[in-house]
Structure 1
Amino acid sequence: MTRLRRDPRAERTAIQVAGAARPRYDRTARRSSSGSGRPRRDPRAERAGQRVVGEARPRFDLSQVIRVEGPVIADTQPRATTAPAPPKILIVEDPAFLVAVVPDAPGGRLSAHDRQVLGAARALAGREGAVALLTLGACEGPGPAGADRWIRLDDGTEAYDPAGRAARIAAALNGLKPRHILFPESLDGGDLARRVAVRMGEPLFTNAEVVAANGLVRPAKGRRVEQRIAPGLLTTVAPDAVADYAGPPREARPVAVETEAASPAKLRILAAARVPADPATVPLALAEFVASAGNGITDLDTFRTLVAALRATPGASRVLCDAGLMPRHTQVGASGTVLAATCYFALGISGAPQHLQGVAGCEHVVAVNTDLHAAMIERAGLAIVQDAQIVMPALLRLLAQETGETP
């Protein structure tokens, strides 16, 4: 051991005051070199340094801590501040096999479900394999999400052509030759996976809730039994079943794959559009954008107007629902509805523990509250420390300016 051994008797002898009839000790002196070197504080001297001069009655300035110069406090050298080193990027130079992921990536951005599929792919790849992300068009942040390779196919047309997209994806996968291919079990991802499976002539294991190198598991017969199978070529991953990749960022090296030109489809869909549901009638559990009112909202008419202008689904805290000011089905929280929304807008909500449990699955949280230390302000990614009664009319005016309407 490199730690010096203390000698309490020698330390006590070193601080003894010489010449006193009764043994006295100077405890403000530094310890001997054989000690730990930790300085001893003198609370009396620090208290005397805080006393306000010129007052008949003792008064002390507690806003600062007085450090008495001398041997009482050890001299401290300022430490040089260094910038944190950037995270090291992991590189898999020569992988033994590839695990391909075909995400939805709406708008060129990986969704929460896509990141979960990448986490499942990392579990299948292990240390010897690599994860290859296959996208049509641009995609943000494939490396931090866990992709070692990135195959980007140019989206040649803006028309809605699921059959043509499946043909291009199948041709790219045939050229890539991965060991496993994962899709998200979503509206678009599930449809694409089934089309690719038909084109490749391979079986598809759908809605996997457990993804591991030793097997895939999914529920069946009303979740009364579990079906287990060895990982095959094509698999779809259920939402909220696998954790995201939480390791250091990966390389996401661009890779070019030669694909054969797909033959034009005989029946081509010229135009298609997704008709969104009315946000006022969408259940809270299925809503993408929720705006909630709390106890800090007194003008509920302005709140309802703002919700309609934002095209959000209305929500509320338990306080307003218990008071009968908002319907019970709009209550957000552990005792109400647990949300899985993309964005949650909290107006005048302090953030009780049960309410925070209800918004734990939201990707983005925006909060408006007068209390800087409110729990909802700490949870929010964007916080506005202001009265919600002032913020709501200001937002309505900005929305009216964007649409060109008179507020």
Structure 2
Amino acid sequence: MSNLFRRDPRAQWIARNRLHPLHVPEGLLVQRGPSGLLRKNVHTIGFIGPNGVKRIDRSGTADSYKQLSRQTAQSGKSAAQEEILLPLHKVAHPDFYILVVVDGVSGRLSSHDRDTLGSAHKLATQPALMEKSAIGAVVAVFFDAISEEKLDTAGIDRLVNFEGNEYQHYNPDQRCADVYRLVNQLNPKHILFPDSIHGGADLGRRLAAKLSTTVASNVWKVNNNQIVCRGSAGKTDIARPITNIMLVLEECCEPVSDTRHECAPLVIQNAPDLQSATLEQQRKHAPEHILESTRQQKIEDLGNVSVNPNDINLAEAGFILSGGNGITDWDQFHHAASLLGATEGASRVAVDDGFMPRVRQVGATGTWVTANVYVAVGISGAIQHMQGIAKCNKVIAINTDDSCDMVKRADLSAIGDSSAILAALLDLVHEQKSALKGNQKDDQKNKNATSDTSVLTPYQATPTNVLEAHHA
């Protein structure tokens, strides 16, 4: 056997390509130096926690995140299928509360919500912001139903969920009244809202007005007893003392990633029935401005407006039908997207070939999407495309290759010709709509039924409605 040590061109190419799935795991390999000695890269050991402190697991019972990534890459499984047992952060008797009112769009935690929860966890655990023996708990407030599955890894110690028909539409007065009642019960030390267009910024300002206190907006850094806010369209930083109500920006803090939390439901006081109570009883249980908003709603929600899905920004679309090199009939693809009410997307190959405009490209070189449902038709799954759909909730793949990366990533896969599968899907939708239209007269008698797709426009119908009605 030769004593010469030969270089591995593939390993060197992976080390240079930061987009390669094995780039980070390969960095952990023990490499042989120019002198022939084995050398370890000590800088890749451990992981950075949400407080910015590097942590190293020396117990030998659990691998680090990067070591797990390498094991996952070698076994061919996705990282989402691997479960890491994180230490449990439990607060039995908190001395104070940090209240976080999340946006919770579609019942899920966005990246902005997780960053806000990370800031709250920092306020609850940072020694410089509290007394030596004080222990704080993070309380997360959700409105409407929760569809998020991993709340324990988001940094939530206590959970409050307001459910009801009044939260299914735009009703800021009701939400502000509920948060106001919760604040009076818990007396939190700080109240955090995501400074976003999904209701957090508006609700935070409404609550500050009802509490007659100041609110800090565009907060992007919390340091001891001082906060830093963005000013002049993000060109300047404004330092000010910390306030009770803060509207924090995205990426204000690292989300919680190194601990699990008990996420225990918090018992809240029942709201008095202000509609049937007398005026004296109402004044006894609630302030006058809360009674005014309860008796007289200032905003009337007229419901959702039917729009063309292609007019929705690709980054904000909830249902995307994306086509790639496997599409042979683009007219059929456009018809399917229109009938299903999906926003059209495309792979880089389809855009380069001229089948779709550049604004429809999905991926790291196009648009990063966060759809609830992402249907990939004829897309094998390039690295940059897989990065662009990493935050999608459910991925459905239609492909002829059952071993491609998109099928491995997908939650549901259909193996076969894309034209035949789309044709069968269109036939199913037409058949279901015809059956539902025949029963439309009977369904109109029950005005409370909202799951009937026959009264939905083509832009409002979704595959979930059609499949649920098909299996009923």
Same fold (TM over 0.5): yes
Task: Tell me which residue corresponds to 1:41.
Answer: none
Q: Confirm or deny that 1:357 pairs with 2:366.
A: no
Q: Confirm or deny that 1:263 pairs with 2:291.
A: yes
Tell me if structure 1 keeps the 8 A contact 2:327–2:378: yes
Q: CA deviation at 1:204?
A: 1.2
Task: Tell me which residue corresponds to 2:94.
Answer: 95
User: Secondary structure in 1 aligned to 2:311?
Assistant: coil
Tell me if structure 2 keeps the 8 A contact 1:338–1:359: yes
- Measured at CA, do residues 387 and 277 of structure 1 come closer, stay the same or move farther in structure 2, by a change above 3 Å? same
Tell me if structure 1 keeps the 8 A contact 2:90–2:261: no
Higher helix proportion, which one? 2
Tell me if structure 2 keeps the 8 A contact 1:289–1:313: yes
- Measured at CA, do residues 154 and 394 of structure 1 come closer, stay the same or move farther in structure 2, by a change above 3 Å? closer
Task: Tell me which residue corresponds to 2:238.
Answer: 227
Tell me if structure 1 keeps the 8 A contact 2:159–2:263: no
- Two-structure CA RMSD over aligned residues (Å): 3.0
- Measured at CA, do residues 176 and 311 of structure 1 come closer, stay the same or move farther in structure 2, by a change above 3 Å? same
User: Secondary structure in 1 aligned to 2:203?
Assistant: helix
User: Secondary structure in 1 aligned to 2:238?
Assistant: strand
Task: Tell me which residue corresponds to 2:139.
Answer: 132
Tell me if structure 1 keeps the 8 A contact 2:208–2:215: yes
Task: Give 2:180's aligned amino acid.
Answer: A
Task: Tell me which residue corresponds to 1:28.
Answer: none
Task: Tell me which residue corresponds to 1:292.
Answer: 322
Q: CA deviation at 1:338?
A: 2.9
What CA distance in whole angstroms lies between the structure 2 residues aligned with 1:218 and 1:137?
31
Match of 1:166 among 167, 176, 183: 176
The C-alpha deviation readout for 1:24-46, integer Å capped at 9, x for no partner, is: xxxxxxxxxxxxxxxxxxxxxxx
Task: Tell me which residue corresponds to 2:36.
Answer: none
- Measured at CA, do residues 144 and 404 of structure 1 come closer, stay the same or move farther in structure 2, by a change above 3 Å? farther
| Rg comparison, structure with higher value | 1
What CA distance in whole angstroms lies between the structure 2 residues aligned with 1:288 and 1:225?
34
Tell me if structure 1 keeps the 8 A contact 2:346–2:362: yes
Task: Tell me which residue corresponds to 2:58.
Answer: none
Task: Tell me which residue corresponds to 1:402.
Answer: 432
Task: Tell me which residue corresponds to 1:204.
Answer: 215
Task: Tell me which residue corresponds to 1:182.
Answer: 192
- Measured at CA, do residues 156 and 279 of structure 1 come closer, stay the same or move farther in structure 2, by a change above 3 Å? closer
Q: Confirm or deny that 1:148 pairs with 2:157.
A: yes
Q: Confirm or deny that 1:254 pairs with 2:266.
A: yes
Task: Tell me which residue corresponds to 1:283.
Answer: 313
What CA distance in whole angstroms lies between the structure 2 residues aligned with 1:217 and 1:403?
55
Relative to structure 2, which stretch is displaced further, 244-253 or 196-205?
Answer: 244-253
Q: TM-score under structure 1 normalisation? A: 0.69
The C-alpha deviation readout for 1:55-92, integer Å capped at 9, x for no partner, is: xxxxxxxxxxxxxxxxxxxxxxxxxxxxx998775421
Q: CA deviation at 1:188?
A: 1.6
What CA distance in whole angstroms lies between the structure 2 residues aligned with 1:88 and 1:358?
30
Correspondence 1:78-89 to 2 at 5 A = 89=88
Task: Give 1:163's aligned amino acid.
Answer: D
Tell me if structure 1 keeps the 8 A contact 2:152–2:260: no
Task: Tell me which residue corresponds to 1:329.
Answer: 359
Tell me if structure 2 keeps the 8 A contact 1:146–1:249: yes
Task: Tell me which residue corresponds to 1:194.
Answer: 205
Tell me if structure 1 keeps the 8 A contact 2:320–2:375: yes
Tell me if structure 2 keeps the 8 A contact 1:289–1:343: yes
User: Secondary structure in 2 aligned to 1:295?
Assistant: coil
What CA distance in whole angstroms lies between the structure 1 residues aligned with 2:246 and 2:228?
11
Task: Tell me which residue corresponds to 2:469.
Answer: none
Task: Tell me which residue corresponds to 1:236.
Answer: 247
Match of 1:342 among 372, 377, 402: 372
Tell me if structure 2 keeps the 8 A contact 1:333–1:358: yes
Tell me if structure 1 keeps the 8 A contact 2:372–2:394: yes
Task: Give 1:237's aligned amino acid.
Answer: V
Tell me if structure 1 keeps the 8 A contact 2:100–2:138: yes
Q: CA deviation at 1:376?
A: 2.0
User: Where does structure 1 lack aligned partners over 5 or more consecutive residues?
Assistant: 1-83
Relative to structure 2, which stretch is displaced further, 112-121 or 97-106?
Answer: 112-121
Q: CA deviation at 1:303?
A: 0.7
What CA distance in whole angstroms lies between the structure 1 residues aligned with 2:343 and 2:173?
34
Tell me if structure 2 keeps the 8 A contact 1:167–1:199: no
What CA distance in whole angstroms lies between the structure 2 residues aligned with 1:188 and 1:351?
35
What CA distance in whole angstroms lies between the structure 2 residues aligned with 1:217 and 1:345?
41
What CA distance in whole angstroms lies between the structure 1 residues aligned with 2:370 and 2:116?
17
Q: CA deviation at 1:197?
A: 0.7
What CA distance in whole angstroms lies between the structure 1 residues aligned with 2:316 and 2:84?
41
Task: Give 2:136's aligned amino acid.
Answer: G
Q: CA deviation at 1:391?
A: 2.0
Tell me if structure 2 keeps the 8 A contact 1:183–1:235: yes
Q: Confirm or deny that 1:301 pairs with 2:313.
A: no
What CA distance in whole angstroms lies between the structure 1 residues aligned with 2:84 and 2:194?
34
What CA distance in whole angstroms lies between the structure 2 residues aligned with 1:343 and 1:212?
39
